[in-house]
C-alpha cells in the first residue's frame, strides 16, 4: 500500500465535504490522474463532459481538465460558478489555431464552413461555423451540405475525417498536432508494445499519425475506445492515447488486461490539476472562468446547433 494513501483519502474526504457545502460537482477528463478521476462526480471525454455540464443542477462546477474544456462548461452554464483550479493548464494543440489563421484560410476558401475541434480556445471558436469533438467530428461533417470543409487545429484528425467522410477537408493550419499523440504514441512505441503483447488489440485516438492509425484494430475518441473494448472481443487491449485513459478503462473492465501503448504518454497540462488545487479552488471559489457576454452567446449558439446536429 503506498505510504501516502491515508493522506490522499483524507484530501478526497475533505473535497467531497466541500462539494456538499458549495453544492458543487467535479467534472474530470479521462486523462486526469487516478485520484482526480476517483474524487470526481463525472469522468468522460470532452463531449460527455459538455453534456454533463449542461445537465447539472449544481451551483458550482469544478473542471478538472484543460482550459478550453472549462471555457465550454462556463459557456453552457452562465448561471453557475465554473472553477478551473489551474488556469494555466492549457492545451498546446489549441494554440495552433487563432482568429488570424482562420481569416487567412477563410479568405483562401470563401464559402467553405469552418469546423473547429473542441480543442480550441473560445476566441477561435467565436469564428467557427460548427464545433465538434473527436467523437462527433465524422457524424457532424457527414451531415454538412458542403464538400470542402476547413477543419482545425488537428491535422491528423482532419485526415481521419477526410478518409471517413470522403470530403475535401482542409487542415487549418497545415501542421497542428498534439505532442502526446504525435510523438509519444509513435511507431516505435506501438511496435515495441505489440511485440511484447502479440495477442492484444490496439486502439488508437485519431490524433495519432495516419500511418499509426492504419495498424490499429480500432480508431476512435476516448469514449469510443471505451465502448469498443466490449465490442472487439478478447481480453487484452493496448490504448494509444494519453496514459490516463487506461486507469478509467481498467475501472470499467476490471476483468480485462488493459495498458497504455506508452505509459509515458503524459499530457503535462492535464496533470497540472491535482487534489490539492481542487481543494483550494473549492475553499476560495477561485479561479473562476468568465467569458465576455457577446463571445459566450455566440459560441453557445454554435455549440448548441452542433450538438443538435449530432443528436
Contact set with ligand SF4 (CB under 6 A): 31, 66, 91-93, 119, 178, 180, 242, 267, 269-270
* Burial class of residue 258, CB neighbours in 10 A (0-12, 13-18, 19+): buried
φ/ψ (deg, to 5) at 202? -105, 125
**At closest approach, how far in Å is the CB of 241 from ligand SF4?**
8
Residue nearer to ligand SF4 on the CB measure, 30 or 112: 30
Strand pairing partners for 300? Answer: none
Residue nearer to ligand SF4 on the CB measure, 93 or 216: 93
Residue nearer to ligand SF4 on the CB measure, 134 or 281: 134
Placement of cell 476512435 in the chain: 220
Distance (Å, rounded) from C-alpha 111 to C-alpha 73? 30
Cβ atoms 238, 200 nearer than 8 A: yes
- Measured N-to-C along each axis, helices 5-22 and 275-284 cross at an angle, to the nearest 10 degrees, of 30
**At closest approach, how far in Å is the CB of 63 from ligand SF4?**
13
Three-state DSSP at 311 gives coil
Sheet holding 148-152, edge to edge: 130-132, 114-117, 148-152, 168-171
Residue nearer to ligand SF4 on the CB measure, 197 or 274: 274
Distance (Å, rounded) from C-alpha 74 to C-alpha 125? 14
Three-state DSSP at 299 gives helix
**Assigned C-alpha cell, 280:** 483550494
Residue nearer to ligand SF4 on the CB measure, 11 or 40: 40
Find out whether the peptide bond into 153 is cis, omega within 30 degrees of 0: yes
CA-CA-CA-CA torsion sign (27, 30, 35, 36): negative
Residue nearer to ligand SF4 on the CB measure, 28 or 178: 178
**At closest approach, how far in Å is the CB of 16 from ligand SF4?**
26
Distance (Å, rounded) from C-alpha 246 to C-alpha 109? 40
Distance (Å, rounded) from C-alpha 277 to C-alpha 270? 13
Residue nearer to ligand SF4 on the CB measure, 60 or 242: 242
**At closest approach, how far in Å is the CB of 119 from ligand SF4?**
5
Residue nearer to ligand SF4 on the CB measure, 71 or 269: 269
Amino acid at each position: 500500500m503506498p505510504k501516502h494513501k491515508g493522506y490522499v483519502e483524507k484530501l478526497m474526504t475533505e473535497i467531497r465535504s466541500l462539494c456538499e457545502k458549495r453544492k458543487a460537482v467535479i467534472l474530470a477528463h479521462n486523462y486526469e490522474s487516478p485520484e482526480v478521476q476517483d474524487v470526481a462526480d463525472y469522468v468522460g471525454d470532452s463531449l460527455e463532459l459538455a453534456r454533463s455540464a449542461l445537465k447539472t443542477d449544481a451551483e458550482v462546477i469544478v473542471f478538472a481538465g484543460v482550459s478550453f474544456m472549462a471555457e465550454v462548461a462556463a459557456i453552457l452554464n452562465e448561471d453557475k460558478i465554473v472553477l478551473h483550479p489551474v488556469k494555466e493548464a492549457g492545451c498546446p494543440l489549441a494554440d495552433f489555431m487563432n482568429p488570424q489563421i482562420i481569416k487567412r484560410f477563410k479568405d483562401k476558401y470563401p464559402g467553405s464552413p469552418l469546423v473547429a475541434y473542441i480543442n480550441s480556445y473560445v476566441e477561435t471558436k467565436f469564428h467557427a461555423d460548427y464545433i465538434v469533438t473527436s467523437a462527433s467530428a465524422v457524424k457532424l461533417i457527414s451531415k454538412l451540405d458542403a464538400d470542402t470543409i476547413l477543419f482545425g487545429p488537428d491535422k491528423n484528425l482532419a485526415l481521419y475525417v477526410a478518409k471517413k467522410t470522403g470530403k475535401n477537408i482542409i487542415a487549418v493550419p497545415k501542421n497542428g498536432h498534439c505532442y502526446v499523440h504525435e510523438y509519444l504514441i509513435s511507431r516505435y512505441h506501438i511496435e515495441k508494445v505489440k511485440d511484447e503483447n502479440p495477442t492484444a488489440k490496439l486502439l488508437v485516438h485519431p490524433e495519432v499519425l495516419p500511418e499509426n492509425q492504419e495498424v490499429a484494430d480500432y480508431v476512435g475518441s476516448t469514449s469510443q475506445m471505451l465502448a469498443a473494448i466490449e465490442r472487439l472481443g478478447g481480453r487484452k487491449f493496448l490504448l494509444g492515447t494519453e496514459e490516463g485513459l487506461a486507469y478509467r478503462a481498467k475501472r470499467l473492465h476490471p476483468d480485462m488486461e488493459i495498458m497504455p501503448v506508452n505509459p509515458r504518454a503524459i499530457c503535462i497540462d492535464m496533470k497540472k490539476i491535482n487534489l490539492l488545487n481542487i481543494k483550494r479552488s473549492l475553499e476560495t471559489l477561485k479561479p473562476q472562468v468568465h467569458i465576455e457576454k457577446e463571445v459566450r452567446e455566440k459560441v453557445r449558439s454554435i455549440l448548441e446547433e452542433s450538438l443538435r446536429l449530432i443528436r
